[in-house]
Amino acid sequence: MDDKYHAITPQEMKRIISTLIILLLVSPLGYSHIGSPGVTLEGKAGPYSVTVVVNAPEVIPGTASVDVYLVDPTVTEVQLKPIYWYAGSSGTPKADLALPVPGESGHYQGETWLMSSGSASIEVTVVGDKGAGSILLPIMAVSTAQGEMEASLGWALGGLGIFLVFLMVTIISLSTSDSMVKPGEPTTGKVRTKRRIGAAIGLGILVLVVFGGSSWWNSWSSDYTRYMYKPFTASSWVTTDEKDQQVLSFAIDSTRLENLYLTRSISYLIPDHGKIMHMFLLKMGTLDVFAHLHPLRKDSALFETVIPPLPAGDYYVFTDVTRLSGFSETIADTLTIPEPAESVVTAWNDSLLTDIDDTYYITDPILPS
């Protein structure tokens, strides 16, 4: 039997599927780069073994929380610094310090600002008796949420604004009337007229200021909504070629999305780990079938791959792509795979797959206990 197609125990498959489900679906919107909204990396920062967990903010500008775990007791300092793809290390501000967590040996925690959207990295520098070492974690800095102001805070700010307008009108009216009267002189009708005119002029100016501020705020809010991260959508389907092999087509619905301050063009994709696209198929419900495929690009938005003779049914489809800027994201869809032809099942060999690295697993279904 081909070494790419083999049975594994239900326990092993459950671990694989459970891990994949967590990684793919913990994002509340399901469109982050495969891995979840957070990034975890275990590696070496020079001579130090380190595990780093980064949770990016939902809103940019915002602060990313960083947890660093070390086993070397000689570490004296941990530094955090954001690095953007377009600026490089020389264009970044001074590093922030991660502080030791009380009662947790080797655990450092800190925050660092992400000031603009795009492809970024967090550089973690570890300093100790063995010298200094650094490790770099790529992250996607994007706004994914828009918060709502609490009603109580809105009413409080509105009341304060009305009070300030009243004070400003009073100050302006008095400065154009009573402030011109010499001490001891009576307030004449002319002074009262100036007071009313000053109040009217002041109120008019303040109304224009408030209207202008409201227009600016609404415009800023509209731009924020426009530039907030929006996932690509796609359509996928299965056809049969002249050899009765099933071919999966994956068409991205839009080649352009006008957000993230720059046009996200599907035309500018780069290989990630040597592949232009990573595709994951997961059977709905029973979770007993999993495939990791690498489709070929047919045009700017269409990708195709031969699929092995998988059991018929409904599948989740997740594809991972990386753009020229280094920004990675997942495009999700669902797919119904029909029953493969008997001739294909009988004569199937994994050499028929599109890519030599394509793999798939079929095991016992995971049923509720």
Superfamily of domain 38-141: Macroglobulin (MG2) domain (2.60.40.1930)
Write the pLDDT tens digit of every residue in 80-112. 999 887 777 777 788 899 999 999 999 999 999
Mean pLDDT computed over every residue of the chain: 82
pTM: 0.67
pLDDT for the residue numbered 26: 36
Instruction: Decide if 363 contacts 291 (C-beta within 8 A).
Output: no
State the CATH architecture for 234-362.
Answer: Sandwich (2.60)
Instruction: Decide if 117 contacts 141 (C-beta within 8 A).
Output: yes
Band (255; pLDDT cuts 50, 70, 90) = low
Q: Is the model's pLDDT at 313 over the cut of 90? A: yes
pLDDT for the residue numbered 143: 83
Distances (CA, A) of 19 to 12, 25, 204, 240: 11, 10, 62, 32
Write the pLDDT tens digit of every residue in 128-168. 999 999 999 888 888 888 878 888 998 999 899 899 988 98
Q: What percentage of the chain carries pLDDT values higher than 70? A: 84
pLDDT for the residue numbered 1: 41
Write the pLDDT tens digit of every residue in 194-223. 888 888 888 899 899 989 988 998 998 888
Q: What is the mean pLDDT of residues 316-334?
A: 88
In the chain, residues under CATH classification 2.60.40.1930 are 38-141
